[in-house]
C-alpha cells in the first residue's frame, strides 16, 4: 500500500515539474510571439511577376472573402491567380464566378475537371494547375487562408535572401462556423501559433505550412514538381524537406495570415485536429512527443489529486501563464476567438483539455478523414485512399 502511494506521489510530482516547466515555456513563447510579430517592416510594393496557386474544394464559409483578400494585395507587378477544382460540379465554382465579377482587372485562371492520380487530392489538383502558371514566382496557399495587404511585400524580399529556397507563414485562427469553429481558432492561436514562432526563432522547428509556400518555379522543378508529393499526407512539410535537402532554407517572415476555421460540430473539430496531430506525429515524432510541454494546464489538473498542494500551485501558475499567452496572441493577431478576454480565459481549461485529448488520441490514429475521404497512414508520411465518408 505504501509502495503504491509513493509511486502515485512520484507520478504527481513528475506532472507538477512538467507543468511548471510548461508554464515557463508558455511565458517565454508569449514573449517571443510579441517580439517577432511586432516588428514588421514597412516596404514598398514589388514588381515581380507572381502566380498565386489556390486549390479549392467545396463551398467553405467565407471562401469568397478569403479569395478576395488575394485580389487586393499591394503589388506593382504582373499577378496571376490560378484556382483549381477537381470536379466540374464543385460548389467552390460559385465563389470563383463571383470573384471574377468583383475583380475584372485581375487575371484569374480556372482549372477544372482535373483527373490526376494521387491519394492527396489537393496535390492532384496542384499537379493539374501547375502547367497554367505563367510567372517565375509561385505562391501556394490553402483555400481557407486570407492574406493581409502587405502579404507579397513581406514575402518576396524574404525569398530573395541568398540560400532561401522557400518562404512560409505563421497563421492564426478565425472562427467562421459558430462555437466549435471558434474553439478550433482558439487552438490555433493558443497552441499552434506560439509553438511555430517559438520553434522557428529558437531553431527547434523547421516548418513549411500550407498557409503559404512561396518559391521559384525553377525550385519546384528541381525538387521534382508536385508529382513527387501526390501520395503524401503532409505535402507542405514534404515540400519543405525536399527544399532543405538541396541545402536551402525555408524561412518564416514576421507576417501573420488568417486561417478560416470551419468546423461546425465537436465531431468535425475532433476529426480535424486528430488528423493534424497525427500528421505532425508522422513527420516530426520527437517534436510531437515534446509538445506536451505546451500543455501545462491539463498536466497540473492530472497532478492535483495525486499531490494536492503542489498541484494547486502548478494549476494557478499554468492558468496565469496561459492567460498571458491568450493576451499576447490577441495582441499580435488583432482578433479574439470568443470576443471577450474574460470569456477566453474562462474557456482556457476546456480548450486545453480538448487539446490534450487530441494529443493522446494522435498516438493511436492509423487513419484520418480528410475532405470526406478516409486515408490510411503509412510509414514516412505516405497515405492510401479508402472509402469516402458522407458529410
Evaluate the CA torsion angle 197, 207, 253, 256 in order and state its sign. negative
Mean pLDDT of the chain: 91
- Cβ–Cβ < 8 Å for 196, 228: no
- Cβ–Cβ < 8 Å for 173, 261: yes
Ranking 40-44, 107-111, 217-221, 359-363 by mean pLDDT, the lowest is: 40-44
Which pLDDT belongs to residue 303?
96
Q: Is the pLDDT of residue 116 over 70?
A: no
Same domain, 188 and 256: yes
Distance CA 305, CA 74 (A): 55
- pLDDT tens digit string along 222-241? 999 999 998 888 899 999 99
What CATH number is attached to the domain comprising 111? 3.90.550.10
Closest CA to 245 of 219, 226, 227: 219
Same domain, 70 and 212: yes
User: Predicted confidence band at 98 (pLDDT cuts at 50, 70, 90)?
Assistant: very high
Same domain, 10 and 139: no
The neighbouring-strand residues paired with 215 are: 138
Q: Is the pLDDT of residue 47 over 60?
A: yes
Same domain, 144 and 15: no
Which pLDDT belongs to residue 41?
76
Domain count, the chain: 2
Q: 62 in the Ramachandran plot: left (φ > 0), alpha (ψ -120 to 50) or beta?
A: left
Distance CA 367, CA 73 (A): 38
Contacts of 326 (CB under 8 A, 6+ apart): 189, 190, 341, 344, 345, 348
Exposure string of 162-173, with b = 16+ CB inside 10 Å and e = fewer, is eebbbbbbbbbb
Q: Is the pLDDT of residue 382 over 70?
A: no
343 belongs to a structural domain: yes
42 belongs to a structural domain: no
pTM: 0.89
Which pLDDT belongs to residue 43?
83
43 belongs to a structural domain: no
| Residue that is last in its domain, among 234, 265, 296 | 265
Which pLDDT belongs to residue 195?
95
Same domain, 129 and 58: yes
Same domain, 58 and 161: yes
- pLDDT tens digit string along 324-381? 999 999 999 988 889 888 999 999 999 999 999 999 999 987 766 656 666 665 655 5
The neighbouring-strand residues paired with 7 are: none
44 belongs to a structural domain: no
Which domain, by its residues, includes 27?
2-37+280-384
Which pLDDT belongs to residue 262?
92
270 belongs to a structural domain: no
161 belongs to a structural domain: yes
Which pLDDT belongs to residue 42?
81
Same domain, 69 and 202: yes
Ranking 99-113, 122-136, 273-287, 299-313 by mean pLDDT, the lowest is: 273-287
- Give the DSSP letter of residue 131: G
Evaluate the CA torsion angle 166, 145, 332, 357 in order and state its sign. negative
Which pLDDT belongs to residue 390?
40
Contacts of 136 (CB under 8 A, 6+ apart): 49, 216, 217, 218
Q: Is the pLDDT of residue 123 over 70?
A: yes
Same domain, 328 and 358: yes
Higher-scoring residue by pLDDT: 36, 231: 36
Exposure string of 239-264, with b = 16+ CB inside 10 Å and e = fewer, is bbbbbeeeebbbbbbbbbbbbbbbbe
198 belongs to a structural domain: yes
Same domain, 228 and 91: yes
- Cβ–Cβ < 8 Å for 259, 173: yes
Same domain, 65 and 168: yes
Higher-scoring residue by pLDDT: 248, 231: 248
Distance CA 318, CA 309 (A): 14
Ranking 36-40, 87-91, 282-286, 308-312 by mean pLDDT, the lowest is: 36-40
135 belongs to a structural domain: yes
Distance CA 29, CA 39 (A): 16
Evaluate the CA torsion angle 274, 277, 280, 281 in order and state its sign. negative
| Residue that is last in its domain, among 265, 298, 321 | 265
Which pLDDT belongs to residue 375?
62
Q: What is the mean pLDDT of residues 27-39?
A: 93
Inter-CA distances, 249 with 2, 168, 193, 215, Å: 55, 11, 20, 11
Closest CA to 283 of 323, 233, 320: 233
Neighbours of 368 (CB within 10 A): 23
| Residue that is last in its domain, among 236, 265, 294 | 265
Which pLDDT belongs to residue 234?
85
Rounded (to 5) percent helix, strand, coil in the chain: 55, 15, 30
| Percent over 70 (pLDDT), the chain | 92
Q: Is the pLDDT of residue 385 over 70?
A: no
| Percent over 90 (pLDDT), the chain | 76
Same domain, 142 and 234: yes
Evaluate the CA torsion angle 274, 275, 277, 282 in order and state its sign. positive
- Nearest 5°: CA angle at 374, between 373 and 379? 130
Evaluate the CA torsion angle 365, 176, 156, 101 in order and state its sign. positive
Phi/psi at 214 (nearest 5 deg)? -105, 130
Which pLDDT belongs to residue 356?
97
Q: What is the mean pLDDT of residues 92-100?
A: 95
Same domain, 139 and 217: yes
Amino acid at each position: 500500500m505504501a509502495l503504491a502511494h509513493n509511486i502515485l506521489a512520484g507520478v504527481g510530482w513528475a506532472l507538477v515539474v512538467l507543468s511548471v516547466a510548461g508554464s515557463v515555456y508558455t511565458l517565454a513563447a508569449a514573449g517571443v510571439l510579441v517580439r517577432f510579430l511586432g516588428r514588421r517592416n514597412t516596404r514598398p510594393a514589388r514588381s515581380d511577376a507572381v502566380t498565386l496557386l489556390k486549390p479549392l474544394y467545396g463551398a467553405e464559409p467565407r471562401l469568397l472573402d478569403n479569395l478576395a483578400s488575394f485580389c487586393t494585395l499591394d503589388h506593382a507587378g504582373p499577378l496571376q491567380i490560378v484556382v483549381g477544382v477537381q470536379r466540374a460540379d464543385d460548389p467552390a465554382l460559385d465563389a470563383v464566378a463571383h470573384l471574377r465579377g468583383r475583380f475584372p482587372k485581375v487575371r484569374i485562371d480556372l482549372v477544372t475537371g482535373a483527373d490526376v492520380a494521387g491519394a492527396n487530392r489537393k496535390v492532384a489538383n496542384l499537379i493539374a494547375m501547375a502547367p497554367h502558371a505563367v510567372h517565375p514566382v509561385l505562391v501556394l496557399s490553402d483555400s481557407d487562408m486570407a492574406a493581409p495587404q502587405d502579404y507579397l511585400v513581406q514575402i518576396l524580399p524574404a525569398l530573395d535572401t541568398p540560400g532561401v529556397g522557400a518562404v512560409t507563414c505563421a497563421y492564426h485562427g478565425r472562427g467562421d462556423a459558430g462555437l466549435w469553429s471558434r474553439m478550433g481558432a482558439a487552438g490555433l492561436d493558443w497552441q499552434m501559433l506560439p509553438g511555430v514562432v517559438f520553434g522557428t526563432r529558437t531553431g527547434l522547428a523547421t516548418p513549411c505550412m500550407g498557409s503559404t509556400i512561396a518559391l521559384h518555379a525553377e525550385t519546384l522543378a528541381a525538387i521534382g514538381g508536385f508529382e513527387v508529393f501526390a501520395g503524401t499526407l503532409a505535402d507542405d512539410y514534404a515540400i519543405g524537406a525536399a527544399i532543405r535537402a538541396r541545402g536551402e532554407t525555408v524561412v518564416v517572415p514576421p507576417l501573420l495570415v488568417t486561417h478560416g476555421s470551419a468546423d461546425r460540430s465537436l465531431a468535425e473539430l475532433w476529426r480535424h485536429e486528430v488528423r493534424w496531430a497525427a500528421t505532425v506525429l508522422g513527420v516530426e515524432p520527437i517534436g510531437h512527443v515534446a509538445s506536451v510541454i505546451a500543455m501545462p494546464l491539463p498536466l497540473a489538473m492530472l497532478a492535483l489529486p495525486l499531490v494536492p498542494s503542489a498541484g494547486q500551485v502548478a494549476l494557478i501558475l499554468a492558468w496565469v501563464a496561459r492567460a498571458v499567452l491568450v493576451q499576447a496572441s490577441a495582441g499580435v493577431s488583432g482578433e479574439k476567438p470568443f470576443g471577450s478576454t474574460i470569456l477566453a480565459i474562462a474557456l482556457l481549461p476546456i480548450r486545453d483539455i480538448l487539446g490534450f485529448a487530441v494529443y493522446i488520441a494522435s498516438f493511436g490514429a492509423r487513419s484520418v478523414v480528410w475532405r470526406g475521404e478516409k486515408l490510411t497512414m503509412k510509414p514516412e508520411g505516405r497515405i492510401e485512399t479508402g472509402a469516402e465518408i458522407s458529410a
